[in-house]
Structures are given as structure tokens and as C-alpha cells.
Amino acid sequence: MKNLLVELFVEELPPKALKKLGDAFASLLVDRLRAQGLASAESVVTAYASPRRLAAHITQVWLKAADKALQQKLMPVSVGLNTAGKATPALIKKLQALGVDVSDPVAVVAGLKKAPDGKTESLFYDSLATGAALDFGLQQALEEAIAKLPIPKVMSYQLETDCELPGWSSVQFVRPAHGLVALHGSTVVPVRVLGLTAGNTTQGHRFEAKVSPVTIADADSYTDTLRNDGAVIASFTERRAEIERQLASVAANVGNGAHPIQDEALLDEVTGLVERPNVLVCEFEAQFLDVPQECLILTMKANQKYFPLLDATGKLSNKFLVVSNISPADTGAVIGGNERVVRPRLADAKFFFDQDRKKSLESRVTGLDKVVYHNMLGTQGERMQRVRAIAGAIGLQLGGESLAQAVNAAARLAKTDLLTDMVGEFPELQGTMGAYYARHDGLSEDIACAIEDHYKPRFAGDELPRNLVGVVVALADKLETLVGMFGIGNLPTGDKDPFALRRHALGVIRMLIEMDLPLDLGVLLAQAEPAFGDKIGSTCSALGEFIFDRLAGSLREQGYSAKEVDAVVSQRPQRLGDIPKRLAAVRAFAALPEAPALAAANKRIGNILKKALDVDPHVSQLLLREPAEIALYDAMKSVVPVATGQFESGDYTAALQTLATLRVPTDNFFESVMVNIDELDLRLNRLGLLKSLHHAMNRVADLSKLAT
């Protein structure tokens, strides 16, 4: 038993997928080796991934797996043996198929076992399966790992055949492979894949390796040999940590509180681009800082993979960090080259910004009529009018005429920056550039912020709009998308959601709940539909269910139990801002000693009422005969009005705790009173009493959902 190393040396791998490819390669290899008994559960796998290699180091790998005892079920005894106890032709054929020597049938039958198998007795054959050899097992593991790699896009390339007849064969992999290392300890495992035969040599850094090829003495010296002789940090994790360390160190030397922008995706991508990182400081002309820093940051990150430097206040400086893949004695050429490359990018951004400001946002409004939004829903101009109508209605509800006018102005201009050169070049800046241009046009800060914020929240955990104007326009924008797409049947399916309807629904939920807006969800959806005219049908019911499904999932992710969420959401409360208070009330109620009995009683009442169908909640005191039903009625007369007052004032926790005092009379009612008796008037009166109780108990949440 020794440690195993496998490395595939390839051309430059896609950097954004590198870590995932490296982890998958190592995981698939060790899983397959474990399945064959060549590695154990204690075997530790370490994944390596650099721009030109995928590798795995696996501890405790056997040269040959242990033999394994097998018991093969053959057939029922009645089928395999005749009345004389001799093997039937069916049994002989089955044994031959298993490779058993049947030249002496009597001896073979004597070696079989009989054992109960359900209602019958069956024949079983014991054998010893030879353990797999490493060369065979690793060959299978490699082929399976390569076949199952999560490759973003497969590349086809040609290999010259090594047979007697000259020719070429086609190979498919993420990138052309040029080398294969397979070492069990210091011994090469003779496996072959992608037209390559395993050896013990690989290639180091393209320019800085001390030797070429790099010889790996044994599996355990892989990383040290690559680092020392090949100038390569093989581990993705180590390389990423080294880049982070250098970024922080170099930024600190710049002074003035300088620090690199935090971007985990960019850090992962750059880690996938370099084999041995070397962070250098570069700078650009300070005049470019007149351009909004979002534009400069985006072009440096997206186009050049640079790390912009911010000062202590978070303002962009004219310095940036480059992660180089080479470490020359004189870094001047590398720094100068990167500074020359970034300058045209920044100049383009400055040109776009200057050109865009020559036209006001207002002058671009008519241009929205020429931009198609959706072939069934019209242009961006039509969409803008719908958003204005929806926003105006919400604005009137929340702030009267003054707010309605402000949101109308913001909604009218919110999409105009889509027609600017800057957003055309960098779509990620939509909204952000609109705010800059709005301020340049002399518009109020409320409107400028609303234009920028109406896309928020863009993702889970994103901040909400900063002011009420922005909240209203953001709500209207998301509702327009949801209602429109549901109206034409363009719904998300499985993992496909091209119009991000799930994200829009969660955005609506977050704004309504976190800002505790006094808005009714059903009313919002009903108000949005008329803005579409005859382009869509009714969507309120299906869209409402979609939003509540998203709400339930979101609440469970926040740590609420499935029972708590189901109890509240199943009631479909239209004022979503109340939901946190309802959940808190349910949690407090569930902790009461009376809760289990009341939840069970509530479930029982619900089942009774469901069978009775349409029940009138009216109760006649004259028809109350049994002491237990009179006691329950009297208790409800004193308790329910108090709980109702607490509910209407928004104190849901107190309301449920007040109702908990009904436990004893409710239990006594079910112990002593028969509801479904023959006398119709008494039966209907008792059903009415239960209906009243059921309504009172379930105003905050469906307590039956808490029953076990």
C-alpha cells in the first residue's frame, strides 16, 4: 500500500472552471478506486489544479485489491435439482455461464448451499472474486473520471494513430492533453488515456522552470518538485492564498490606506490564469478619475483581470494591481506593458461618458419605442408606460399625490440609460449610469437614486432601494415583469428561468416584508394587470401561488421550521409585512404547554368542518344543551373578543396566548359532546360553534399544521 499520484498535463484550461474541474477530477478518481477496493475510506485525496494541469494525490492505495468472497443466488431448489437431487440442465447452464467447471456435476452440487429465500428454498454458489490490480483499476477510474468531468465546452482534436496503418483519430477533452503521470509510490502505473501513456515526467512553468521536463521521483514529492524545479504552485488553494497575501502586502506598501477591491470571482479566475503569481503595482493617468469609478473598476476587472486599488475612504485611486505569471529581475517592462494596455480601455470609458452626457435622459425617452422588449409584450417604451402606471398606483397608496408624481418621473426615465454608449458597452452598469446622468441633468437626488436602485435587490443578500421612490419603482418594475411573463405563459421550468422570475418574486417579497409596507399582495397583482390591456389574461391566482412558494422557501432558508412556515403561509396572508410577527407568534405559541392539545383539536375541528361542507358560524344559545358545550361557548364569549382586539392591533403573540386558555373547555367539549348527532338543529348549532372557534384560532396561522 503506497500513495498514488495522477496528473494530466494539458493546454491552458478555462480559468473560471478550473477549480471545479480539479475538484471533480480528484473526487471521481478516488471514488472509483474505493469502489474497486483499491482505496479505503481512510484514503485522503488532495486535488491540484493549475492552468495547465489537473492532478490528484491519494493516500493508502493498494497495488492489488483484496480478494472478495461472493455468494451468487442461482435459482430455486425445485428448479435446479430433480427429484433425485441431481443437477437439472437449467442449473448446469447457469453454472457454466458463471465459469464453473461442471465436469463433475455431483461434486458441483455438493458444493452448493441451500438457504431459505422468502417462501422458497434457493441454491447459492460461493466463490472468491479476485481483487482488481491497480493498473486495471486505475485505467477504469481514469476513463470514468474523464468521461464525467463537468466540462463547460468540449474540444475535439486529432491524434496520430500508433498502429501500423498511418492515420488520425479524433479525441474529445476540455483542452488537448500532452502528458500523463501515474505514480504508485515511485513506480509508474502503466495506464493509457487520451492517446497518452503514463510516465513520471511533466512540464513546469513555460518560462521559469529550472529543467524541462520535470521528473517526479515519487507520488509524495510532486508538489515540492513542481515548486522547486518547475516554478509552479500546483495547489489551487495555495496559489489563491498566495495571491491574496501578495495583494494585501503590495497594497499596504502603496500607503494611504490603499486596499484592493474585494471580488471572490475575480480572485478565482486570476488563480486559474497563473502558475506562480507575482503581484505588481501599476498606475494610470489621474485624469481618468473624472469618469465614474464603477466604469473604471468594471473595465479593469472584466477586460484586464486587474485589481483596482481603493483608498481608505473607498474611493478609487489611479493605481491598480496586476497578478503577473512571470517574475523578471526588472519588472519595468511588465508594468509598462500593462499600463499601456489599460489606457485605451479607460480612454474608451471616458469617451462614452463624455458623449452620453451630451444628451439628456429625457431626450432618450422616445428611443425606447424602437427597442423591442418581448415580441408578445411590445417595446421598452410600452414597458415603461406599464411600469409608470403600476408605480403611480402604488405611490398613491403609500404617499399620496406627491409620491405618485415623483415615482412617475423616475419610472419614465429608469430605462433610458439602456440607450447610452456606456451601458451598451457595459450592460452591468444599467441603473448606475442612469443615476449619474440624472444628476448631470439636474434631477433630484431621490429620482437619481430611484433610477439606480430600481433593479435592487439584484441577488440574494443585496441591499434594498435607499428611498421610498426607489422602492416603489423597483416594486413596479418587478411586478410588471412577473405579471407580463405569467400573462403570456413564459414561466420558469426546472433550473431554467431566463427572465429571473424567481429572483423578481424574492425581490418583491423582501421589499414588502423588510420595509413593512402597508400593501396587500393580491391588490398589487390586480392593479398591475390593467396596465397590459388585452396583451395578457388573468394571472393573479397562479402568480400569487408562485410568490407564496418562493416565500415559503425563503423562510425555511432563514431557519424557520417547515411546520412554522406552513402554518403561516398556508393562510395566504396578503400583508406580507405581518409575516415575521406571525411567525414569532407561532413559535411562542408552540412553546406553550397547551399548544399540542390545541393544535390537535384544531386539526380535528378542521376535519369535521371539511366533511360538513358549508357551515354557518352562527350559534344559538338556546340550543346549547350539554354542560361542556355551554362552558366552551361561555369561555369563547370572554376570550375571543380579547384575542380579536389583540389580533387587530397587530399583537399576534398575545392573541395566540389568549386563545391558549381555551384548551380545557375545548378538550372537555370533545370528551363529552357528540357533534354529528341525528337532531339537525343541534348538529348545525354545534358545527357553528366549532366553526366560530376554528375561525378565531386560525386568524394568525393554521394551528393544525403544528399537530404531530
Grid cell locating 35: 469502489
645-672 burial, b at 16+ Cβ within 10 Å, e below that, comes to: ebbeeebbbbbbbbbbebbebbbbbbee
CA 451 to chain centre: 28
d(CA 521, CA 389): 17
What's the pLDDT score for residue 493? Answer: 86
What's the pLDDT score for residue 158? Answer: 85
The secondary structure of residue 673, as a DSSP letter, is -
Do the strands 214-215 and 201-202 form a parallel or antiparallel pair, or are they unpaired? antiparallel
- Long-range CB contacts for residues 614-618, cutoff 8 Å, separation at least 24: 615/684, 615/687, 615/688, 615/690, 615/691, 616/684, 616/688, 616/691, 617/688, 617/691, 617/692, 617/695, 618/688
Q: What is the pLDDT of residues 320-363, one digit of tens each?
A: 999 999 999 999 999 999 999 999 999 999 999 999 999 999 99
Grade residue 161 by pLDDT with cuts at 50, 70 and 90.
low
Q: What is the pLDDT of residues 46-91, one digit of tens each?
A: 999 999 999 999 999 999 988 877 778 888 888 888 888 888 889 8
Domain segments of the chain as ranges: 2-64+133-229, 68-129, 236-356, 362-559, 579-706
Residue 638's region, left for phi above 0, alpha for psi from -120 to 50, else beta, is alpha
| Residue 302 reports pLDDT greater than 60 | yes
What's the pLDDT score for residue 74? Answer: 85
What's the pLDDT score for residue 162? Answer: 62
Q: CA angle 361-366-368, nearest 5°?
A: 85
Average pLDDT, integer, range 544-553: 95
CA 617 to chain centre: 46
Weakest mean pLDDT among 528-542, 558-572, 636-650? 528-542
d(CA 429, CA 17): 25
φ, ψ of residue 589 to 5 degrees: the values are: -65, -45
Q: What is the pTM of this model?
A: 0.81
Q: What is the pLDDT of residues 128-155, one digit of tens each?
A: 777 889 999 999 999 999 999 999 888 9
Q: What is the pLDDT of residues 251-298, one digit of tens each?
A: 999 988 999 999 999 999 999 999 999 999 999 999 999 999 999 999
What's the pLDDT score for residue 104? Answer: 82
d(CA 462, CA 473): 17
The secondary structure of residue 615, as a DSSP letter, is -
Cβ within 8 Å of residue 238, ≥6 positions away: none
For 104, other C-beta atoms within 10 Å of its C-beta total 10
Exposed, middle or buried, 42 (CB in 10 Å: 0-12/13-18/19+)? exposed
Q: What is the pLDDT of residues 95-132, one digit of tens each?
A: 888 778 888 878 888 888 888 887 888 888 887 777 88
Grade residue 163 by pLDDT with cuts at 50, 70 and 90.
low
Half-sphere exposure of 152 (CA within 13 A, CB side): 9
CA-based torsion, 98, 102, 105, 110: positive or negative: negative
Q: What is the pLDDT of residues 500-511, one digit of tens each?
A: 999 999 999 999
| Residue 690 reports pLDDT greater than 60 | yes
d(CA 667, CA 652): 23
What's the pLDDT score for residue 631? Answer: 95
Contact 176, 195 (CB under 8 A): no
Is 362-559's fold the same as 579-706's? no
Q: What is the pLDDT of residues 618-676, one digit of tens each?
A: 899 999 999 999 999 999 999 999 999 999 999 999 999 999 999 999 999 999 999 98
What's the pLDDT score for residue 342? Answer: 95
Contact 655, 700 (CB under 8 A): yes
What's the pLDDT score for residue 613? Answer: 78
Q: Where are the alpha helices (DSSP H) in 305-417?
A: 332-356, 380-413
- Long-range CB contacts for residues 96-102, cutoff 8 Å, separation at least 24: 98/72, 98/125, 98/127, 100/125
434-468 burial, b at 16+ Cβ within 10 Å, e below that, comes to: bbbbbeebebeebbbbbbbbbbbbeeeeeeebeeb
Average pLDDT, integer, range 175-199: 95
| Residue 615 reports pLDDT greater than 90 | no
What's the pLDDT score for residue 70? Answer: 75
Query: How does the average pLDDT of the chain come out, rounded?
Result: 93
Give the CATH number of domain 362-559; options: 1.10.3210, 3.40.50, 1.20.120, 1.10.443: 1.10.3210
What's the pLDDT score for residue 416? Answer: 97
**C-alpha torsion 488→490→491→497, nearest 10:** -150
Give the containing element (helix H, strand E) for 619: none
Q: What is the CATH number of domain 579-706?
A: 1.10.730
Using the structure block, give the residue that is written with the C-alpha cell 474529445.
172
| Residue 164 reports pLDDT greater than 60 | no
Partner residues linked to 279 by β-bridges: 323
φ, ψ of residue 307 to 5 degrees: the values are: -110, 100
Contact 346, 284 (CB under 8 A): yes
Q: What is the 3-state secondary structure (H, E, C) of 225-280?
A: HHHHHCCCCCCHHHHHHHHHHHHHHHHHHHCCCCEECCCHHHHHHHHCCCCCCEEE
Q: Which of 255, 488, 511 is nearest to 394 (CA)?
A: 511
d(CA 526, CA 416): 27
Contact 383, 524 (CB under 8 A): no
φ, ψ of residue 171 to 5 degrees: the values are: -125, 145
Q: What is the pLDDT of residues 426-459, one digit of tens each?
A: 999 999 999 999 999 999 999 999 999 999 999 8
Weakest mean pLDDT among 22-31, 164-173, 519-528, 555-564? 164-173
| Residue 181 reports pLDDT greater than 60 | yes
